Amino acid sequence: MKQPYPIIIDLTHKKIAVVGGGKVAARKISKLLAAGSKPVVISPKLNPAIDPTKVEWIKGPYQRDRVAEMDIIIACTDNPIVNEQIKKEASHFQLVNNTSDKRHSDFYNLATIMVDDILLGISTMGKSPSLAKQVKNELSDWLKKRHWRE
């Protein structure tokens, strides 16, 4: 298996669509907002954790024309068939994260820890998000107890 290329990207001026409005979408949107993005959310309904004033909400189902101008698309509907369709219909210039199947994704997210100016990313290459979360929590505790301050 080839090794992925981990990067940190400035999303400030990127057009990002989150297709889906459930619990997974709420987590993704929270991270996108913290990164300075104002994502476009395409979903008939929004999870209560999603503040509709902080996103651009297109109330309705996925349609290809709704994501045509997006740089990044996060497909996190509760329907794996729709998520796969999003990936298939994306242009070669768009990056897609299919949260239901990493094989149909251009990228996937890392579990991250940020303490002061230290940012750590943890990945299990998409195989075990629960293990990544466990490692993240343990490293976070360790870092908070032991890290230096300049």
The pLDDT tens digits for 36-61 are 999 999 999 999 999 999 999 999 99
Question: What is the helix, strand, coil percentage profile of the chain, to 5?
Answer: 30, 20, 50
Q: Is 32 exposed, middle or buried (0-12, 13-18, 19+ CB in 10 A)?
A: buried
Neighbours of 107 (CB within 10 A): 17
Q: Angle at CA 21, nearest 5°, toward 62 and 115?
A: 125
The pLDDT tens digits for 2-14 are 767 777 788 888 9
Q: Where are the beta strands (DSSP E) in 102-144?
A: 111-115, 118-122
What pLDDT is attached to residue 52? 96
What pLDDT is attached to residue 149? 54
What pLDDT is attached to residue 61? 98
The pLDDT tens digits for 120-142 are 889 887 778 889 889 999 998 88
CA 66 – CA 111 distance, rounded (Å): 29
What pLDDT is attached to residue 6? 73
Residue found by looking up tokens 């230096």 in the block: 148
Entry pTM: 0.80
The pLDDT tens digits for 102-111 are 778 888 788 8
- What are the residues whose beta carbons fall under 8 Å from the beta carbon of 22, sequence distance 6 or more? 43, 47, 76, 77, 78
